[in-house]
Structure 1
Amino acid sequence: MIVTELNVYPLKSCAGTALREAEITPRGIRHDRELMLVSPDGTHLSQREVPGMALLRPVYDGDKLRVEPPDPSATAPLAHEVRRDLPARDITLFNAPHRGVDQGEEAADWFSTVLGVPCRLVCFPDDHVRRINPRHAVGELRYADALPLLVTSAESLAELNTRLAEPVPMNRFRPNIVVSGWREPFEEDGVRRLRIGEIEVELVKPCGRCVIVNVDQATGARGREPLRTLAGYRTVRTDKPRVVFGKSGLPHTPGTIRVGDPVVLLE
């Protein structure tokens, strides 16, 4: 088994950036989900409400954020120096209270104009601690959904695509790490620990999928697949029925991983 894709999503729910190598920190890939868009009242926004977010392509080095708009002929790219020295404001993420450093009017106006909805850009505060739900694991994360890493399998996607009239690419599932070389599709369901290059990753739970997987990441159009097909054979029951694809997890050792690194099953 080897790593075939690495992706970072610096601006939550916007397009990802493909990497050849990724620095893994205790909170996932460095800068992953470090920035987020919220409504004026502080409620986080995603492709569930604004599918056009898929068309925003951010590049972020930890200090400077550049975002390419869907139509560069109509709107100039955003070039923004991220501020961490401003007061943090109250925000909500999945109905839970959190904090974010508001990035000011210029950034808010740019995103509001491009997306057609009022919104503001916030950055994860340096002094804010967001803990993983203790039912799942012990650790921290930024604005990721539940755990710092999402690992998917090329074999699982290939099997899903045999059931679809129109195949979908892996970017529908927004993974951080894609692994190829499993013996069977969805073999990752039964895996607890992997060594990926020089780091160890714990796969904690299957990733429950929402309507975002039905958003074409190249056009922003929303359809009915692949969620409808997945629901027919990939629904599990925990506290409620969930359609699952991939596994969420967290790193137990920091380090750097690269496309092409070997992946070893530990447990």
Structure 2
Amino acid sequence: MQVTALTTYPIKGCYRVARQRARVHPWGLDGDRRWLIVDAATGDAVTQREVAALTSLRPSLGADGALTVAAPERPDLVVAEPADGPAQTVTVWGFTGAAARAGEAADDWLSDALDRKVRLVWLDDPTRRVIKPPYAWPGDVVSFADGYPLLLANAASLVALNDWLAEAQEPEWPLPMERFRPNVVVSGAPAWAEDDWVGRVLRIGGVTYRVPEACGRCVVTTTDQETGERGREPLRTLARYRTVGQKLLFGVNLIPESPGEIAVGDPVTVG
């Protein structure tokens, strides 16, 4: 097996950035989900589950960590990492803690783009959010990702899923891998081989990872990442073929055991 794609998402819920290589930290890949858009009144995370328009925001990161966000018909937003920004209490998937506010200019730009009052924050201390039990070990941390530092998908499993869609003559066929928003895509394994990796150790290049559990999928996978339009797939088909314990499974979560670097083309082995 080998890595065929690496992807990061600088702002949780927004457009992706394709990578050739990335540094692995305990909380995830460098540049992945350190930024977050929150409701201005509550501090709750604003995600694609509620706001599909996040797909129209295209972020990128400069060498100095500065964030640039592009959106249709408006000038780019450029924001430096607000290391000394005022604290904002935010809530993401049961975690409530502090993040640094990016400032009113960023808040106003994003509020106009999304037509709702929001704020932009940055996770100034990426060790602040610990992974919830029962799969976490002491010291396991995560950025603003849903639950784990990395998500891995198997290219052959997407082929199998698209075969099911074709057999059912689903008009949304074929679906691209981008629907599942993985960090790492691997090829060279049979479809659904990743089911057997749960509870084991995976090695990608020079970095090892625990595979705590498979990933249960949500409405975000029904969102076209290019247009923001929503359909009913792949959840309808996953419900028929991939329901385990009331979860619709596609991909597996990863927890790094040590820092390092991974790249497209790296070999992948299962321990």
- Structure 2 length as normaliser, TM-score? 0.92
For 1:97-116, list aligned pairs within 5 A: 97-116=96-115
What residue ranges of structure 2 are gaps of 5+ in the alignment?
none
Match of 1:64 in 2: 66
Which moves more between the two structures, 163-172 or 211-220? 163-172
Which of 233, 236, 239 does residue 228 from structure 1 map onto? 236
Are 1:185 and 2:186 an aligned pair? no
Separation in 1 of the partners of 2:235 and 2:265? 30
Separation in 2 of the partners of 1:5 and 1:264? 16
Distance 1:127 1:244, change over 3 A: closer
Separation in 2 of the partners of 1:67 and 1:145? 21
Separation in 1 of the partners of 2:126 and 2:112? 31
Match of 1:264 in 2: 269
Residue 10 of structure 1 deviates from its aligned partner by 1.2
Match of 2:45 in 1: 44
The answer (yes or no) to whether the contact 2:202–2:268 under 8 Å persists in 1 is yes
Which moves more between the two structures, 78-87 or 200-209? 78-87
Figure out how many residues of one structure are paired with residues of the other and give that number: 259
Are 1:213 and 2:221 an aligned pair? yes
Over the aligned positions, Cα root-mean-square deviation in angstroms equals 1.3
Separation in 2 of the partners of 1:21 and 1:214? 28
Are 1:28 and 2:28 an aligned pair? yes
- The residue matched to 2:24 in structure 1 has which SS? strand
Moved beyond 2 Å, runs of 4+:
125-128
Question: Which residue identity does 1:158 align to in structure 2?
Answer: V
Deviation string for 1:43-78 (max 9, x for gaps)? 100011110101211102463100110x1xx21111
Deviation string for 1:6-40 (max 9, x for gaps)? 01111001011000011111111012110000001
Question: Which residue identity does 2:237 align to in structure 1?
Answer: T
Separation in 2 of the partners of 1:98 and 1:227? 32
- The residue matched to 2:4 in structure 1 has which SS? strand
The answer (yes or no) to whether the contact 1:99–1:128 under 8 Å persists in 2 is no
Match of 1:170 in 2: 177
For 1:55-94, list aligned pairs within 5 A: 55-61=56-62, 63-69=65-71, 71=72, 74-94=73-93
The answer (yes or no) to whether the contact 1:84–1:126 under 8 Å persists in 2 is no
Are 1:194 and 2:202 an aligned pair? yes
Residue 127 of structure 1 deviates from its aligned partner by 7.3
Deviation string for 1:212-237 (max 9, x for gaps)? 00000010001111111111111111
Which moves more between the two structures, 35-44 or 84-93? 84-93
Residue 118 of structure 1 deviates from its aligned partner by 1.4
- The residue matched to 2:262 in structure 1 has which SS? strand
Deviation string for 1:142-165 (max 9, x for gaps)? 111111010110000010011123
Question: Which residue identity does 1:35 align to in structure 2?
Answer: W
Separation in 1 of the partners of 2:267 and 2:29? 18
Question: Which residue identity does 2:217 align to in structure 1?
Answer: R
The answer (yes or no) to whether the contact 1:88–1:125 under 8 Å persists in 2 is no
Separation in 1 of the partners of 2:236 and 2:120? 32
Question: Which residue identity does 1:104 align to in structure 2?
Answer: G
Question: Which residue identity does 1:46 align to in structure 2?
Answer: T
What residue ranges of structure 1 are gaps of 5+ in the alignment?
none
- The residue matched to 1:195 in structure 2 has which SS? strand
